[in-house]
Amino acid sequence: MSKMRVIDDSMKTILFILILYSAAFAQRSLKTGEDLNGAKSIRAVIKLGAVDLQVRGTRDHDKAFQLYYRYTNGERVPKLMYEIEGDNGVFKLSNDKEHTSFPFLGFGDDKDSVDLELARSVPLSLDMSFGVCDARVDLGGMEISDANFSTGVCSFDLNFSSPNKIECDNITLKTGISSVTVENLSNANAKSIDFNGGLGSIKIDFGGKLVRDCDLRVKTGLGSVEISIPSDINTTVTTPESFLTSVDVAGFYSQGGGVYRSNEKSGPKLRIFVESAMGGIKIKSY
């Protein structure tokens, strides 16, 4: 009996060691960063599949990026590159997961976890694509020259918590099945903004300070659109006229034909164009 007990105890010890070994290698991580190394601007291309992502500006103004990447699949090792081409830096981050618009086969996969800081002291051109994701992106206080986002099945939060330091040519967002929240969009300092949603919800708040004329175009298939605009912004809203779409506009006067205006004010003009095949649109002044 005592010998059997020794064997049992030994097996338990071996099993415990194997469990610890498996746990140690079940989740792997990559922590790294690079200085600007003379780059006067950066183009960042990020293509990820199943991911839990957080993006913000670097705390160190001399850094091109800081990355902490945790991944559970040893066969899906992240690919990272940063190189200098002339005066420009090129940053690329990807994994081998599918990042198409409708990655239905990825629902059961574990998400990689990514905490990324990108340069805030030089102009940044941003191109980001995700599959199944939970993403929180705060571009406040950075120098965003243009930004393009593409998501599949995603919860996506975009924030400009403080003003963009330079003029942004264009921001585009294309979603599949997603819940999108955008905060402080006036701070983006953008000339044009295009949101194209498939199925889901889009909530947009023009908090912050609008410093230039801006055109916002929102197009959805089936879903809801909510847009909130501070009362001091000179705004024109054009909405669809369709019995398949309910439109609720508060704080603006109607000019007929689906066009609404704020009272005439001085300062930059915000022009909003909304298209929806089917769903609900709510626009309010506050």
Helices (DSSP H) in the chain: which residue ranges?
Answer: 2-26
Distance, CA of 76 to CA of 94 (rounded, Å):
10
C-beta neighbour count of 75 within 10 angstroms: 6
Q: Taking Cα atoms as reference points, which of 110, 102, 44 lies closest to residue 71?
A: 110
Would you say residue 27 has pLDDT above 50? yes
Q: Which two tokens stand for residue 89?
A: 């830096």
Range from 68-77, 153-162, 223-232 carrying the lowest mean pLDDT: 68-77
Instruction: Give the pLDDT band of residue 221 (cuts 50, 70, 90).
Output: confident
Residue with tokens 């004329």: 213
pLDDT for 167: 98
Q: For the chain, first and last CA: distance in Å?
A: 79
What pLDDT digit, counting tens, does each position of 40-49 carry?
999 999 999 8
Would you say residue 251 has pLDDT above 60? yes
List the beta strands (DSSP E) in the chain. 28-35, 41-48, 51-57, 63-71, 79-85, 88-94, 112-118, 124-130, 132-138, 144-150, 153-159, 168-174, 177-183, 190-205, 214-229, 234-238, 245-250, 253-256, 259-261, 269-285
**What percent of the chain lies above the pLDDT cut of 70?**
84
Over residues 156-171, mean pLDDT: 98
Would you say residue 9 has pLDDT above 80? no
- Across 26-55, b (16+ Cβ under 10 Å) vs e yields eebeeeeebebeebebbbbbbbbbbbbbbb
pLDDT for 24: 42
What pLDDT digit, counting tens, does each position of 101-137 carry?
444 444 445 788 999 999 999 999 999 998 888 999 9
Would you say residue 59 has pLDDT above 80? yes
Would you say residue 266 has pLDDT above 90? no
pLDDT for 8: 54
Contact 269, 216 (CB under 8 A): no
Domains of the chain, residue spans: 28-212
Distance, CA of 201 to CA of 181 (rounded, Å):
8
Bridge partners (DSSP) of residue 264 are: none
Overall pTM > 0.95: no
Mean pLDDT of the chain: 86
pLDDT for 191: 97
Would you say residue 2 has pLDDT above 90? no
Over residues 84-93, mean pLDDT: 95
Instruction: Name the pairing type of β-strands 269-285 and 234-238.
Output: parallel
